[in-house]
Structure 1
């Protein structure tokens, strides 16, 4: 058979199956739902027996693993237009997709529109029908969940398409269909009409904004340098060593490692196991940052509420017994529980991060939101305490304001990430990228450059470097003078001996 004959046969098959299944469902009015599964297809039907009085009522039909969600009143409306009983059918074909892949997706028959050329199907072919007509327009879109036949490659884009047969030619069209969600296992589509649907993988990857890419790499590199300077400062400045700087040091270490891993490995999705491991480490390191921020808020609250607490915290008991086990143990516990509950949630076709399927990304955002709320409560209580202690805790007031600034710095990017939906998604993407990429620079500014003791230590370092440079220059000049004097002492006797000769 030629490709045109195969396309005609496929179209006849699809129409015939929909008509036959609709007729069969109507012949059994006593059965509200019916399901049939064979080697070549799976079918489920639903007969509307109510009046769909609830405007928001949604039903779901399943065949194989694929599903179709639609509003009840769209079914009754389609049946009213056709003058038939309100019934919906959903069909999933087991092998039809492979036949179309072999015969109808060759280079000699590119699909209409051009953008789908050189692509392939990556799901079963499914059909949805209401009433008695095909390609009926729906007052509310239907939602289809289609599972991937193969893993999505890094440079592939998942497209929702429907079967379109016009003038003896069968093509796949994207008109009226949009992608709602994509993850490693399936894609969810929304279509404003009914037909036969599938997923096609376009070989062109979804390209990111060049501006965002430049901002990310430049700002993250700057942040890494600033975090490195901050780490060296907290390690080498003995005059500022205390519990607070120990917490700042651990926070900077975790954020430095997280930024470095994010910059170098977040897009390495070629190996699924390695990508999942990268996502797990990123979740752990970012959670550790927020955990240390929580410990800083707790330490400040305890110190300001009772200044005597500082006597034993600085001695190290608080730090050794509670800080390090909790600071690094709590994030590890969250990651372990998350990995046990949903090991498939780590990694995606685009990035090595947490999947949004089944709300799995809340295994990170949930603890983050809780920590932000707790620290906000701590700081409100601290500010209330400081209002009555204007002079005795002046340094603590400065530390508190710096801690609040740090909470704002670390928390804002993830708030912007939650708001990346709808028309403001692009703006929030830029705000997230800028605020996240400059976290290290802001922390260095707040905890180092705005710290009087650190500035004084920097000045001493600079003076010692200059003094060392001056001494080395003086030493070089003195050595050259010595060499000149020695030369003269040697030349004098030689001249005298030459004269006597």
Structure 2
């Protein structure tokens, strides 16, 4: 497969010559770009310049009148991967540098670019990409520390939910899966950012990672909605969910809902905008409003949760008038309503803060801390602030202390 081709009006040129004939000499230099480097293309903006084609040369030998009757078109096959966010320039060599006077891009796709020029010379295609912003070492360190701390508390919360004994009416399925989804998302995010320089050039891998992050974060929000629904059922019944209800809302059924909904959203997003994944940081791209494939479901989930919480408050208020309601059960239910509402605010609202950062360092730091410490919040509000769990912690640490004294 040839890397380049030329389309020139030789018939028109021949008519303008006494000889009534014309021929074009077209040459392609396979390694000339190593000598005539893209850095010799001087531009006002500071960009990374990449040679996207072999260097070619076109001349009209033994032709008296070399004036072109029509612009000549060159088709360049890309010799490197094309970045859709970059800009292409059709250039020609002038003594000691590349310039683009009289040349322009006619059309382009991911594999080929057609250049149109009003003269013959030595030509090439150069791609310009924006330089990545300089890394902020302080922000990188803060990000690393905050995410690791958050992951530690996610792990502690998971261990607490799994190993501690809970009241019969407490259903931790949603909370466990919230922790699993967000722990995996933060772990994947942390590893991706640590090895971004290696992952970023692999566009397919970067897109897969951003799709997985999309799925895991959405799963966390779906489970948050499921927990609100379970709480509404609990408040409505003011007792342990009946056996019939338990069959309908079994752990297996909840897991299907919790993960399949997020999977469907990601699959539909891939189907509609397949190039929407794989930004510079291996996250969802902003182009074509594709970020709403994440923010849209988040807003819908938060809106539904607010509706459910309003309904819960109304139901609780009417139930308080019922003298037959158990005081202890009512107190526990009100505490759970408060905790779940607080969880909804802490897990959901920081993502809305992302709309307003706009380069503000203070808001970026606030966004980073709030999002990374979701595990810390879950551990504090459901484990540390739970009297029964604290009692089991004390018992566990007393046993450890006694074992240590024996040895």
Query: In the alignment, which of 194, 199, 215 is matched to residue 284 of structure 1?
Result: 215
Deviation track 1:57-97 (CA, whole Å, cap 9, x = no partner) reads xxxxxxxxxxxxxxxxxxxxxxxxxxxxxxxxxxxxxxxxx
Query: In the alignment, which of 105, 113, 129 is matched to residue 201 of structure 1?
Result: 129
TM, length-normalised to structure 2: 0.68
Question: Distance in 1 between the 2:89 and 2:363 partners?
Answer: 29
Going from structure 1 to structure 2, the CA distance change for 1:418 and 1:114 (only over 3 Å counts) comes to closer
Question: Distance in 1 between the 2:244 and 2:395 partners?
Answer: 29
Going from structure 1 to structure 2, the CA distance change for 1:362 and 1:450 (only over 3 Å counts) comes to same
Question: Distance in 2 between the 1:39 and 1:208 partners?
Answer: 46
Q: 2:139 is matched with which residue?
A: 212
Deviation track 1:421-443 (CA, whole Å, cap 9, x = no partner) reads 3xx64443222212111111111
Contact 1:303–1:310 under 8 Å retained in 2:
yes
Q: 1:274 is matched with which residue?
A: 205
Unaligned runs of at least 5 residues, structure 2: 1-5, 9-28, 54-77, 101-109, 112-125, 321-326
Aligned: 1:448 with 2:379: no
Tell me by how many angstroms 1:467 deviates.
2.1
Deviation track 1:389-423 (CA, whole Å, cap 9, x = no partner) reads 454511111111111111111112210122233xx
Q: 2:341 is matched with which residue?
A: 404
Q: 1:83 is matched with which residue?
A: none
Q: 2:271 is matched with which residue?
A: 340
Q: 1:360 is matched with which residue?
A: 290
Deviation track 1:4-34 (CA, whole Å, cap 9, x = no partner) reads xxxxxxxxxxxxxxxxxxxxxxxxxxxxxxx
SS class of match (1:244): coil
Tell me by how many angstroms 1:358 deviates.
1.6
Question: Distance in 1 between the 2:362 and 2:385 partners?
Answer: 30
Going from structure 1 to structure 2, the CA distance change for 1:384 and 1:159 (only over 3 Å counts) comes to same
Contact 2:185–2:213 under 8 Å retained in 1:
yes
Contact 1:121–1:200 under 8 Å retained in 2:
no
Question: Distance in 2 between the 1:303 and 1:107 partners?
Answer: 67
Going from structure 1 to structure 2, the CA distance change for 1:304 and 1:260 (only over 3 Å counts) comes to same
Unaligned runs of at least 5 residues, structure 1: 1-37, 41-97, 124-147, 173-183, 186-197, 474-501
Tell me by how many angstroms 1:207 deviates.
2.0
Going from structure 1 to structure 2, the CA distance change for 1:108 and 1:239 (only over 3 Å counts) comes to closer
Contact 2:169–2:239 under 8 Å retained in 1:
no
Tell me by how many angstroms 1:377 deviates.
1.1
Structure with more relative contact order (C-alpha pairs < 8 Å, separation 6 or more): 2
TM, length-normalised to structure 1: 0.56
Tell me by how many angstroms 1:298 deviates.
0.6
Tell me by how many angstroms 1:169 deviates.
9.0
Query: In the alignment, which of 397, 401, 404 is matched to residue 466 of structure 1?
Result: 401
How many residue pairs end up in the alignment? 325
Question: Distance in 1 between the 2:367 and 2:81 partners?
Answer: 29
Query: In the alignment, which of 372, 381, 384 is matched to residue 314 of structure 2?
Result: 384
Question: Distance in 1 between the 2:200 and 2:378 partners?
Answer: 31
Question: Which structure is larger by alpha-carbon Rg, 1 or 2?
Answer: 1
Contact 2:49–2:127 under 8 Å retained in 1:
no
Alignment of 1:141-156 (within 5 A): 151=81
SS class of match (1:233): helix
Tell me by how many angstroms 1:121 deviates.
6.7
Q: 1:58 is matched with which residue?
A: none
Aligned: 1:223 with 2:154: no
Going from structure 1 to structure 2, the CA distance change for 1:149 and 1:252 (only over 3 Å counts) comes to same
Question: Distance in 1 between the 2:38 and 2:301 partners?
Answer: 55
Contact 1:372–1:407 under 8 Å retained in 2:
yes
Contact 1:412–1:435 under 8 Å retained in 2:
no
Tell me by how many angstroms 1:115 deviates.
4.0
SS class of match (1:201): strand
Q: More deviation in 375-384 or 226-235?
A: 375-384
Q: 2:226 is matched with which residue?
A: 295
